Structure 1
């Protein structure tokens, strides 16, 4: 179809594109008139490019300099032509002459000469602000749907890179401004620890450590003495590893205490991370109890914990141990017995389950590799209060996934925003609670009280009780908070036997739960705010001529350069799938409630 309509008369109509078999939206009101002004020549070029793409004709630039811009239709014989010139005394440009009638058929295919990388970058900028994880395939599909033009994958990828740099800054700028950012974090959040260091003659990025004062205060004053250690690999241009130490609040939610970004995961960097963690806790030595640390117990982590936290109880993440056991034996019956042994409360119960396991298969070599004292509930000496697996893993994975394409400063800001929002949300949530204990603890107390009704209580003295049931007899001491079943000591919340003893003497069962499960402690954990960091334009301006000159850099400050580690070019190598792996056994469903095999959590009928 010929483009017969004049651009002068298009103020109130939409041009029908020549590709009738394509479905996309056309930008309306792409008009041009004599006397129309543009702020500068770049704005003029962008406007004419957008018009050409929207109306499906290609421009051929005849002249373009600081004082004029002349373009015509690329089709031979088509009279369309525009002449834009600079207005005297002002930076604006205006349309001087215009031949607005097309006699050509326009672009007959989806490819368009004006759909350059720069145009792609401008087209996706708004969406990238809200979703930096958008993929190049999604970009090229959106452009085809909205504008009716096709761009290559490489154009979409480069357009995204250019737009990301315009919106968030380049990755190199992120490292450059990192020292100044750390100073701003410490300035706006007094008591916060923010350390960054470089290495080598070029001062390449090496390590970054941040722990907000609000997190330090909450951990020392309100959280249980339990820390999780884990890491996540960053998949951006310069790779790297994010490390994190997280506590657990009263309601079993993650409470990140400190996090770090290092150029590579190594024994040296784990040793450094634990040393910085020890320093921030060492300042508050009077308030720091004996810690329990959970991790996957890699060699580097074990050595670092033994060096900097020699008195801490360092246990395995139960999920890591169970996956290793399942991979080693691949026997459903054995895995069921393993979970029964894991949650056995007493040594005799554990030994009984191990005997049953030995009747199925010899598991002692595996037990020598993973000693029960590092993971079994009956033998582990640390205080976990029912928290057996790493919960920070998913948070770290999400952070790494959401931020791997952002500069490191923007990555830290994303994490700070996440922490600040958690603090505000949980503060507000805690203010609505009117109970003594947090909801998860209240639920366990209610279940214990319900189960205690079937027990017979025999009182020995003011504090000691004998709880008789059809299965066994248990001894309870409410003064030392002891029950011979060991559930009270292990989980920190009165068991059914303790509840029966407390109710028999008129005591409130809830006040005998550990203080770390109280609403008061939960509110105190999130009582300190995390303050915002001002925009980079508000940071200290540098003096001219200094090495670190530029917005946000102090005078004479050394410039931190990107790390030496870089993602290799090209696509990652695909792992070759062996024929033997196709014959693996069918996946067995495991209950997320009782951890037994053969049924899902919805169909679980066992009482845990």
Structure 2
């Protein structure tokens, strides 16, 4: 080990090197480190005199000079013989050089290598210059910047760095580097003061790959990522503009996305002939309407789903606005099952009539029950296309209107009175017998004649009350399924029309696949949601007494009333079994008495066999390798395709609304006075003379 120096570090201070000279140093090395330690072996330059043998006299120890370019480090200490200690060296400490941080820009060090390098076009060269600039920490400026000629130099005065690139010919976009000086002449102050110029289209090229995976990343998150990975800072506006450019590169320019609608519709129908994809335009080829219904959804609805549809419209918040009209239903487990959608300009009579006419062609002669809100255009269109008697209204929307009318008629009333009015309306809606319905209306009349009169004249009771609607709707009295669709596609409604079509198709394919996979995990003949309802009914039936009467009749006695259950006709005098298709608690008590299987008395639309019919078909992926490039259309593309223009829209005044208006039934945070702990005022307006007693 002559002419060698051995040093080590300890885990709590790895910035200092400590000499390893004897057995005590070895013990310290083991004691103050974990399973591994950093040990360094360095060569010592030879001096004119030799090092004297080890003696107790410190005068024989000579200083040694370390070579700065001959260090070699190892991670694990090799076997050191304690019987033959190393020649002692003067114990000193030395700071470990600060490690150089290698960021993500190191991959761009060799983007521009030498003269003669060829780039596809000027934009490719500008992008390479931008990334090369970040990797080498300098700033450049253009002396000439055109599609056929780019000349740029370093901004530091006197620096020789220069690049010149010229077009390879008159009719080509390729550029070749003719002159390139890669050396820089910078001082430390020049490097310190160098600032990068950031254009949104160049920064977007850095973040585009990440936005493909996380398109909802916020501008501040983009700023933080850029600083951590590349070491430069962006303003919020720069990050936002770069994100918009990247999203436009991913999803396409919103204006150009309308050009591809005819091609997409043709490809959808060609891929699956059962799919319906229609579009209309004006004589000047401006987009007007789009209707899409995938074949697997239509087939599943006709084969196994209940004949009930939830229709609603939602505002699109993309660049050209518009309205999304949808039709959905429930599967055997009461989960969302989309059927069709349309993109139109607004919710008016013409657009709803066009949407429902296309929907009628899919459903054919099947008697379908429609549930919607009380939008005038929906009511008018349903009367022209479907049976008016089969149009039910969403009870939640009716309740909203009822509460608004209550507030209008009785201003200044206490909150308890309003809650009493809503309870009386619930009694009118949920009762299943005509006599009980009449009693509930009379109770409401006694509470407020004005509200009862509004309910009879403007409330359309026969469209939402359970006892008054003439057709089956399986106790589905709200448009919660349509609201689920709205929540399901909330993010996609902000994108361009082509991105919306693509993302909706992907989400729908994943929904169908997931539901089909979950169906294989069903433990019983019904889904988990239906099984949960049955468990609740069975639990309630434990407190009922059932008596066999013969001919499949069972009398079930509750606390206040007796009902008759007929298992052969699937009937119960409480009417719940007939309306829902699921055995009510009375039926569960009768089934238990006769030792029957409860799943055999569940309606077929809830069974696993129906779920298999609904999800028998799957989505078919479409090929887009031959989709026209809207930025580089050829003469063949113009001859073989129709390209649409975006619709004419006007931006409304004010800032666009991002949040929907919350329902009055949602839980609202109640602010209370910090002095008296009462609601309705704050501390500054508190007039309670003795708040301690409250």
How would you bin the TM-score normalised by the shorter chain? Answer: 0.7 to 0.9
Q: Distance in 1 between matches of 2:189 and 2:420?
A: 73
Pairing 1:509–2:598 present:
yes
Q: Distance in 2 between matches of 1:481 and 1:573?
A: 50
Please, which of 105, 122, 126 is the counterpart of residue 27 of structure 1? 105
Return closer, same or farther for 1:411/1:310 CA change in 2, 3 Å cut-off: same
CA offsets 1:444-503 (integer angstroms, 9 cap, x no match): 223323333333333333132322223111122223222111111111111121222233
Shift of residue 157, structure 1, vs aligned partner = 4.3
Shift of residue 172, structure 1, vs aligned partner = 2.6
After superposition, where does 1:365-444 map in structure 2 within 5 Å?
A: 365-368=453-456, 369-398=458-487, 401-444=490-533
Q: Distance in 1 between matches of 2:422 and 2:242?
A: 51
Pairing 1:364–2:452 present:
yes
Matched-pair contact (CA < 8 Å) for 1:234–1:400:
no
Q: Distance in 1 between matches of 2:167 and 2:349?
A: 65
CA offsets 1:104-147 (integer angstroms, 9 cap, x no match): 6247679632x112212212212322233445555455545554
Pairing 1:58–2:139 present:
yes
Q: TM-score, normalised by structure 2?
A: 0.71
> Could you tell me which residue of structure 2 aligns to residue 307 of structure 1?
384
Return closer, same or farther for 1:460/1:16 CA change in 2, 3 Å cut-off: closer
Pairing 1:318–2:402 present:
no
Please, which of 72, 83, 93 is the counterpart of residue 163 of structure 2? 83
Q: Distance in 2 between matches of 1:328 and 1:569?
A: 30
Shift of residue 353, structure 1, vs aligned partner = 3.7
> Could you tell me which residue of structure 2 aligns to residue 224 of structure 1?
306
Return closer, same or farther for 1:87/1:444 CA change in 2, 3 Å cut-off: closer
Pairing 1:187–2:187 present:
no
CA offsets 1:511-540 (integer angstroms, 9 cap, x no match): 111110101101110111110111152679
Task: Give the secondary-structure state (helix, strand or coil) at the position aligned to 2:370.
Answer: strand
Shift of residue 373, structure 1, vs aligned partner = 1.7
> Could you tell me which residue of structure 1 aligns to residue 182 of structure 2?
98
Return closer, same or farther for 1:387/1:574 CA change in 2, 3 Å cut-off: closer
Q: Distance in 2 between matches of 1:376 and 1:168?
A: 46
> Could you tell me which residue of structure 2 aligns to residue 246 of structure 1?
328
Pairing 1:479–2:568 present:
yes
Q: Distance in 2 between matches of 1:433 and 1:165?
A: 43
Matched-pair contact (CA < 8 Å) for 2:552–2:566:
yes
Return closer, same or farther for 1:109/1:540 CA change in 2, 3 Å cut-off: closer
Matched-pair contact (CA < 8 Å) for 2:142–2:151:
yes
Matched-pair contact (CA < 8 Å) for 2:156–2:186:
no
How many residue pairs get matched?
548
Pairing 1:47–2:47 present:
no
After the TM superposition, which of the residue ranges 516-525 and 471-480 deviates more from structure 2? 471-480
CA offsets 1:147-202 (integer angstroms, 9 cap, x no match): 45454555444433332332222223221111111111011112111101101x31
Shift of residue 215, structure 1, vs aligned partner = 0.8
Q: Distance in 1 between matches of 2:161 and 2:521?
A: 68
Return closer, same or farther for 1:55/1:435 CA change in 2, 3 Å cut-off: same
Q: TM-score, normalised by structure 1?
A: 0.80
Task: Give the secondary-structure state (helix, strand or coil) at the position aligned to 1:460.
Answer: strand
> Could you tell me which residue of structure 1 aligns to residue 421 of structure 2?
334
Matched-pair contact (CA < 8 Å) for 1:459–1:465:
yes
Return closer, same or farther for 1:315/1:440 CA change in 2, 3 Å cut-off: same
Q: Which has the larger radius of gyration?
A: 2
Q: Distance in 2 between matches of 1:16 and 1:466?
A: 83
Task: Give the secondary-structure state (helix, strand or coil) at the position aligned to 2:399.
Answer: helix
After the TM superposition, which of the residue ranges 347-356 and 188-197 deviates more from structure 2? 347-356
Matched-pair contact (CA < 8 Å) for 1:291–1:312:
no
Matched-pair contact (CA < 8 Å) for 1:205–1:263:
no
Q: Distance in 2 between matches of 1:176 and 1:88?
A: 34
Pairing 1:560–2:560 present:
no
Please, which of 356, 374, 389 is the counterpart of residue 297 of structure 1? 374
After the TM superposition, which of the residue ranges 372-381 and 233-242 deviates more from structure 2? 372-381
Matched-pair contact (CA < 8 Å) for 2:163–2:177:
no
Return closer, same or farther for 1:399/1:111 CA change in 2, 3 Å cut-off: farther
Return closer, same or farther for 1:145/1:354 CA change in 2, 3 Å cut-off: farther
Q: Cα RMSD (Å) of the superposition?
A: 3.6
Shift of residue 361, structure 1, vs aligned partner = 3.2
Matched-pair contact (CA < 8 Å) for 2:165–2:177:
yes
Matched-pair contact (CA < 8 Å) for 1:56–1:106:
no
Matched-pair contact (CA < 8 Å) for 1:230–1:392:
no
After superposition, where does 1:115-264 map in structure 2 within 5 Å?
A: 115-136=198-219, 138-140=221-223, 142-144=225-227, 146-151=229-234, 154-199=237-282, 201-264=283-346
Matched-pair contact (CA < 8 Å) for 1:194–1:209:
yes
CA offsets 1:350-379 (integer angstroms, 9 cap, x no match): 344444444443421331321322212222
Q: Distance in 2 between matches of 1:281 and 1:422?
A: 22
Where do 5+ consecutive residues of structure 2 fail to align?
A: 1-97, 407-414, 660-666, 672-694
Please, which of 522, 546, 551 is the counterpart of residue 457 of structure 1? 546
Q: Distance in 2 between matches of 1:308 and 1:422?
A: 30
CA offsets 1:429-457 (integer angstroms, 9 cap, x no match): 11222422222222222332333333333
Pairing 1:469–2:550 present:
no
Shift of residue 260, structure 1, vs aligned partner = 0.6
Q: Distance in 2 between matches of 1:268 and 1:365?
A: 33
Return closer, same or farther for 1:103/1:43 CA change in 2, 3 Å cut-off: farther
Return closer, same or farther for 1:307/1:337 CA change in 2, 3 Å cut-off: same
> Could you tell me which residue of structure 2 aligns to residue 74 of structure 1?
155
Return closer, same or farther for 1:323/1:197 CA change in 2, 3 Å cut-off: same
Task: Give the secondary-structure state (helix, strand or coil) at the position aligned to 1:57.
Answer: coil
Q: Distance in 2 between matches of 1:248 and 1:139?
A: 40
Q: Distance in 2 between matches of 1:107 and 1:390?
A: 63
Q: Distance in 2 between matches of 1:407 and 1:444?
A: 41
> Could you tell me which residue of structure 2 aligns to residue 3 of structure 1?
none
Matched-pair contact (CA < 8 Å) for 2:330–2:481:
no
After the TM superposition, which of the residue ranges 405-414 and 134-143 deviates more from structure 2? 134-143
Q: Larger relative CO (CA 8 A, sep 6+): 1 or 2? A: 1
CA offsets 1:283-327 (integer angstroms, 9 cap, x no match): xx3xx2x22211002111111111111255211112222233333
Return closer, same or farther for 1:189/1:81 CA change in 2, 3 Å cut-off: same
